[in-house]
A and B are shown apart, each in its own frame.
Chain A
Amino acid sequence: MKQSKVASEITGKVWKIVAAPGTQLAEDEPILILESMKMEIPVSAPLDCKVVEILVAEGDTVSEGQAVAVIEG
């Protein structure tokens, strides 16, 4: 199993973390939700994977391209 980082595609604020480390996700299932452009924008699993680590906390501001989670899959 290969570990990789998932990056935010947009600058915004971390609103809610929905998948804690250890959670198994299918492709396109949300890891966390950002608030940006007054929208709730999910950062989703790019493939079927397990969440290894969440690199941000709720309320943090993240930039476009910033890694927000480590996954394994």
Chain B
Amino acid sequence: MAFEKELEAFQRRTEAARAMGSKKRLAERQDAGLLNARQRVDVLIDAGTFEEAGLFARSIRPEAAGISPTDGVVSGFGRIDGRLCGVNAADFTVLGSSSAEVHGKKQAFVRNAAAQNGHPVINLMECAGGRIPDIMGAAGIGRAGEHSRYTRTRTTPTLSAVMGLTYGGGAFACINSDLVVMRKGAVLAVSSQMATSVAIGEEMDPQDLGGWRHHSEGTGFVDAVVDTDEDCIAWIRKALSYFPDHANATTPVAPIPPDAEDAVAGILDLVPEHRGKTYDMRKVIAAIADPGSVLPVKDRFAKVAVTCLARIRGRAVGVIATNPMFKGGALDPDSCDKIASFIVLCDSFNLPIVFLADTPGFLVGLESEKRRLAGKIMNFMAALELSTVPKVALILRKSFGQAYLNMGGGKSDTTASWFTGEISFMDPAVAVNIVYAVKREDDPERFEELAKEVAKETSAYDLAAPFMAHAVIDPRETRSYIARQLDIFSRGLTNGVGAHRLADWPPAF
């Protein structure tokens, strides 16, 4: 056969590159129940569609050529449910998938090609940090900056999974993503615990440094937590289904499940009549959305605010709600950050926003003021006012003060209230204390009398009379009402594509 020798060499080189790191390391992963980089790509990408870029890439240091197949990252393009996506899958068995010149160049190639051609990007990350000695010395760190681009303009959706020890550049890639899922047991941190203990003499458990609890409950960097590698990838696939391929396209429409209209009929049983009693807003959202369509985002962080992706009659939406079950629904500083970031996400990818408000207001107090509540309220409001996606604001029970405006009241394409709505500058009971200096415990009769007086003209109908609410609705009509409003405010002139004025909002949460 012609070119026999070359074909044989090609075959040998291909197999060696595809073999990843040492057999020992691969076996250790398998024993630990972890997938290797190529298995992860196989689970993520539709069979037979992966187009690898950089199979023969390797370290720039000649002495490391034999131990650096693909230079530690499986990169390329492939289809997920038929949709073409860029993929960077860290191969931890090759030098800990550490950051080095060719390694970074490959990832940038995928990111840039995806951004320029309108394909989502998926990062399946692990990273030991910067590769030593490659990045040591002046030229080493200088080279690291030559081709990197840290700004994120939210052109195409970027979804990342933290699937192992993920430090340095790997952590930054995840932070610079639209959504992040983390496997329990993985770690996300700027610096490994080893480097941390040497640098500042602080010994710690990696889980405390950057484990799933830390990031899902403390920092809010992680949007979802799952148990296994397979779960990570399943979450990524599901999350992608709500997004368009790029910012200039509209979101995919899914079929409406046959029993989708049933749950909302029972919505009156989910909300207590007593205005001071709490309930779980997530149950209300589940009743409104298409069955099985709710994907919580940052559900363990700042629980006062519920942010989730969902579908209503097949159309993807972002839902922003207050949850009376936590802090009575009073919005605290972290929940402002959470909502602002979610508005940015929705606005960047043409996801209409549905606001569901039941809030006594922003959470006042020493702790909130210390944590810069005023600034966070304004950032939240700036994001809301700059957003151009369709917005439907709905008041369920109470919506008081600045929180009424921040939760979309009068700041959306349309504002409506359940017939249970109560809207004012502040809770009437608080106003009685402040204006008349009367407390319930001191003079119950006088207090009730004044409370009635102050509570005048705070009903949903009082907001509808000056046409500040465009409708007062029966809660059981919530789902159909929202669906009709989304039809009306469909942004037909721009084919449903917004102006994306938030696309350059700071990249990190």
Binding site for B on A (CB under 8 A): 9-11, 36-42, 63-65
Task: Tell me the complex Cα distance, A65–B330, Å.
Answer: 16
Instruction: Specify which chain A residues have a CB less than 8 angstroms from the CB of B226 in the assembled complex.
Output: none
Given contacts A38-B328, A38-B429, 6 further A-B contacts (CB under 8 A): A36-B328, A39-B330, A41-B278, A42-B278, A42-B325, A64-B365
Proximity string of chain B (357-368) to chain A, C-beta cutoff 8 Å, 1 when within and 0 when not: 000110101110
Proximity string of chain B (267-306) to chain A, C-beta cutoff 8 Å, 1 when within and 0 when not: 0000000001110000000000000000000000000000
Q: Is the CB of A10 within 8 A of B327?
A: yes
Q: A10-B363, A64-B365 are in contact. Are A39 and B329 (CB under 8 A)?
A: yes
Q: Is the CB of B276 within 8 A of A39?
A: yes
Binding site for A on B (CB under 8 A): 276-278, 324-330, 360-361, 363, 365-367, 427, 429-430
User: What is the CB-to-nearest-CB distance from A6 to chain B, in angstroms, rounded to a whole number?
Assistant: 14
Partner of B276, one of A9, A40, A63: A40
Q: Is the CB of A38 within 8 A of B427?
A: yes
Q: A10-B363, A64-B367 are in contact. Are A40 and B278 (CB under 8 A)?
A: yes
User: What is the CB-to-nearest-CB distance from B278 to chain A, in angstroms, rounded to a whole number?
Assistant: 6
A–B pairs, 11, beta carbons within 8 Å = A9-B326, A10-B327, A10-B328, A11-B365, A11-B366, A11-B367, A36-B330, A37-B363, A38-B427, A39-B324, A41-B278
Task: Tell me the complex Cα distance, A38–B367, Å.
Answer: 18
Q: Is the CB of A40 within 8 A of B277?
A: yes
Main secondary structure of the interface of B (DSSP, over half): loop
User: What is the CB-to-nearest-CB distance from B280 to chain A, in angstroms, rounded to a whole number?
Assistant: 9
Q: Is the CB of B328 within 8 A of A41?
A: yes
Instruction: Specify which chain A residues have a CB less than 8 angstroms from the CB of B429 in the assembled complex.
Output: 38
Task: Tell me the complex Cα distance, A39–B274, Å.
Answer: 10
Q: A9-B326, A10-B328 are in contact. Are A37 and B360 (CB under 8 A)?
A: yes
Task: Tell me the complex Cα distance, A65–B326, Å.
Answer: 14
User: What is the CB-to-nearest-CB distance from A40 to chain B, in angstroms, rounded to a whole number?
Assistant: 5
Instruction: Specify which chain B residues have a CB less than 8 angstroms from the CB of A10 in the assembled complex.
Output: 327-328, 330, 363
Chain A: which residue is nearest B272 at the CB level?
A: A40
Instruction: Specify which chain B residues have a CB less than 8 angstroms from the CB of A9 in the assembled complex.
Output: 326-327
Partner of A38, one of B326, B366, B430: B430
User: When A and B form their complex, what is the total count of cross-chain residue pairs whose Cβ atoms lie within 8 Å?
Assistant: 45
User: What is the CB-to-nearest-CB distance from B84 to chain A, in angstroms, rounded to a whole number?
Assistant: 42
User: What is the CB-to-nearest-CB distance from B284 to chain A, in angstroms, rounded to a whole number?
Assistant: 17
User: What is the CB-to-nearest-CB distance from A39 to chain B, in angstroms, rounded to a whole number?
Assistant: 3
Q: Return the 7 tightest CB-CB contacts between A and B, nearest first.
A: A39-B328, A37-B360, A38-B427, A41-B328, A37-B330, A10-B327, A37-B328
Instruction: Specify which chain B residues have a CB less than 8 angstroms from the CB of A41 in the assembled complex.
Output: 278, 327-328
Q: Is the CB of A37 within 8 A of B367?
A: no
Chain A: which residue is nearest B429 at the CB level?
A: A38
Instruction: Specify which chain B residues have a CB less than 8 angstroms from the CB of A11 in the assembled complex.
Output: 365-367
Chain B: which residue is nearest A64 at the CB level?
A: B367
From A37, A39, A65, name the one whose CB has the most chain B CB atoms within 10 angstroms.
Answer: A37
Task: Tell me the complex Cα distance, A37–B366, Å.
Answer: 14
Instruction: Specify which chain A residues have a CB less than 8 angstroms from the CB of B327 in the assembled complex.
Output: 9-10, 36-37, 41
User: What is the CB-to-nearest-CB distance from A33 to chain B, in angstroms, rounded to a whole number?
Assistant: 9
Chain A: which residue is nearest B359 at the CB level?
A: A37
User: What is the CB-to-nearest-CB distance from A13 to chain B, in angstroms, rounded to a whole number?
Assistant: 11
Task: Tell me the complex Cα distance, A2–B307, Å.
Answer: 33
Instruction: Specify which chain A residues have a CB less than 8 angstroms from the CB of B277 in the assembled complex.
Output: 40
Q: Is the CB of A38 within 8 A of B360?
A: yes
Instruction: Specify which chain B residues have a CB less than 8 angstroms from the CB of A37 in the assembled complex.
Output: 327-328, 330, 360-361, 363, 427
User: What is the CB-to-nearest-CB distance from A10 to chain B, in angstroms, rounded to a whole number?
Assistant: 5
Instruction: Specify which chain B residues have a CB less than 8 angstroms from the CB of A63 in the assembled complex.
Output: 367
Chain B: which residue is nearest A15 at the CB level?
A: B276
Instruction: Specify which chain A residues have a CB less than 8 angstroms from the CB of B324 in the assembled complex.
Output: 39
Instruction: Specify which chain A residues have a CB less than 8 angstroms from the CB of B365 in the assembled complex.
Output: 11, 64
User: What is the CB-to-nearest-CB distance from A68 to chain B, in angstroms, rounded to a whole number?
Assistant: 15
Instruction: Specify which chain B residues have a CB less than 8 angstroms from the CB of A39 in the assembled complex.
Output: 276, 278, 324, 328-330, 360
From A9, A10, A42, name the one whose CB has the most chain B CB atoms within 10 angstroms.
Answer: A10
User: What is the CB-to-nearest-CB distance from A62 to chain B, in angstroms, rounded to a whole number?
Assistant: 12
User: What is the CB-to-nearest-CB distance from A22 to chain B, in angstroms, rounded to a whole number?
Assistant: 25
Instruction: Specify which chain B residues have a CB less than 8 angstroms from the CB of A36 in the assembled complex.
Output: 327-328, 330
Task: Tell me the complex Cα distance, A40–B277, Å.
Answer: 6
User: What is the CB-to-nearest-CB distance from B376 to chain A, in angstroms, rounded to a whole number?
Assistant: 16
Task: Tell me the complex Cα distance, A63–B427, Å.
Answer: 21
User: What is the CB-to-nearest-CB distance from B358 to chain A, in angstroms, rounded to a whole number?
Assistant: 10
Task: Tell me the complex Cα distance, A10–B325, Å.
Answer: 12
Task: Tell me the complex Cα distance, A40–B326, Å.
Answer: 10
Task: Tell me the complex Cα distance, A31–B492, Å.
Answer: 52
Task: Tell me the complex Cα distance, A11–B365, Å.
Answer: 8
User: What is the CB-to-nearest-CB distance from B24 to chain A, in angstroms, rounded to a whole number?
Assistant: 37
From A10, A11, A38, A40, name the one whose CB has the most chain B CB atoms within 10 angstroms.
Answer: A38
Instruction: Specify which chain A residues have a CB less than 8 angstroms from the CB of B330 in the assembled complex.
Output: 10, 36-37, 39
Chain A: which residue is nearest B274 at the CB level?
A: A40
Task: Tell me the complex Cα distance, A8–B230, Å.
Answer: 36
User: What is the CB-to-nearest-CB distance from A7 to chain B, in angstroms, rounded to a whole number?
Assistant: 12
Chain B: which residue is nearest A40 at the CB level?
A: B276
